[in-house]
Amino acid sequence: MPTPKTEDLRPKNHDLKTRDRRPSVHDTPNDSFLPAMSAIAREAGALLLEYFRQKLKIEYKGDADLVTAADRASEALIRERIAKQFPSHDVLGEEQGLNDRGGEYRWYVDPLDGTTNFAHGYPVFCVSLALERRSGADAKRISAVVYDPSRDELFSAEQGKGAHLNGGPIHVSKITQLKECLVATGFPSHKRHKNPNIHFYHQITLRTHGVRRAGSAALDLCNVACGRFDGFWEFNLNPWDTAAGVLIVEEAGGKASRFDGSPFQLDSRETLASNGLVHDALLHEFQEIFAGRGLDPLPDPRVYHSER
């Protein structure tokens, strides 16, 4: 399928003179990148949906690490839109890597988060875009959008200005007890035999209302931001998986860290996000699991089967 023709997607507030339009409650300041980012994410999401309706050939980047023409077309579209509107901005995208000209702004692009779901026809996937401003050694993510085209849900956030879902403010949940939480995790497709997460999945399942494994880290984070989940963790995520979702969680009043409680960084190989209120309880459980304490052993399925 060809990449759609280039259109001018300059930020909405730059397109129209103030006298030409009525102010809206969803208006953002003139220097906001969000209107442009949202338009690009929506366009890439619509492209993904077109591909979703077809049977696509699956290719493999690793054992179970899938990629499709949709991943590539979505990233090509996003890069083309960024290059046209923001030619000085750098981009780190999952499929094409980093073009680094040492610019002030860098985009983190996951053109299709949830490729395995997508390739199997399971409608849980999204486009994830984050924008970082860099000044010397200092780098700050300033805005983020995650768009789920199947549900037509656009999550967004700007640093210091809160988080939104389809224009309305969102907040993390108010649950304080781990035993009342619904949480989420994910399992990597790369080197999965070396990943210890099944132990975490087991233990946290026994201590909460349940653990969901939906297959899109960016959407898992957004679901923490809007209170559907109370926490999320995963090992070995990449910057394009987390850059947008973590800012959206933080702007929705939540917290992100590594598994020892130290600050989350984009290159952290550990991501724990929560409503903030159950963060310490999750950290405590993680420390217990790492230390091998109080681990309820995994039940032997042969015994379970014979006892029924």
- The footprint of ligand IPD (CB under 6 A) covers 110, 113-116, 186-189, 215-217, 234, 237, 241
- Is the Cα torsion angle 50, 52, 53, 59 positive or negative in sign? positive
Chosen residue from 110, 132, 250, 285 binding Ca ion by CB under 5 A: 110
Burial profile 80-110: b = 16 or more Cβ within 10 angstroms, e = fewer? ebbeebbeebbbbbbbeeeeeeeeebbbbbb
Which of residues 237 and 277 has its CB atom nearest to ligand IPD in the complex?
Answer: 237
Please choose, out of 54-62, 220-228, 240-248, 275-283, the segment that lies near Ca ion by the rule CB under 5 A.
240-248
Question: What are the C-alpha distances in Å from 272 to residues 117, 204, 278?
Answer: 22, 13, 11
The reply to whether 113 sits near Ca ion by the rule CB under 5 A is yes
- The label of the residue with tokens 């399928």 reads 1
Helices (H), 120-227: 197-207, 217-225
Which of residues 67 and 83 has its CB atom nearest to ligand IPD in the complex?
Answer: 67
Minimum distance of ligand IPD from residue 234's CB (angstroms): 6
When CB distances to Ca ion are compared, the closest residue is 113
What is the contact mask toward Ca ion in residues 3 to 42, using x (rule: CB under 5 A)? ----------------------------------------
Rounded to whole angstroms, how far apart are CA atoms 213 and 215? 6
Q: Which two tokens stand for residue 184?
A: 């989420």
Minimum distance of ligand IPD from residue 254's CB (angstroms): 18
Which of residues 43 and 94 has its CB atom nearest to Ca ion in the complex?
Answer: 94
Minimum distance of Ca ion from residue 164's CB (angstroms): 22
The reply to whether 94 sits near Ca ion by the rule CB under 5 A is yes
As a dihedral over the C-alpha atoms of residue 232, residue 222, residue 124, residue 105, rounded to 10 degrees, the angle is -110
Q: Which of left, alpha, beta for 276 (phi over 0: left; psi -120 to 50: alpha)? A: left
Minimum distance of ligand IPD from residue 115's CB (angstroms): 4
Which of residues 32 and 74 has its CB atom nearest to ligand IPD in the complex?
Answer: 74
Minimum distance of ligand IPD from residue 64's CB (angstroms): 10
Which of residues 110 and 250 has its CB atom nearest to Ca ion in the complex?
Answer: 110
- The label of the residue with tokens 């090509």 reads 76
Chosen residue from 43, 132, 241, 251 binding Ca ion by CB under 5 A: 241
- Is the Cα torsion angle 276, 153, 118, 79 positive or negative in sign? negative
Of all helices (H) and strands (E), which one includes residue 143? strand 138-148
Residues lying near Ca ion in the complex (CB under 5 A):
94, 110, 112-113, 241
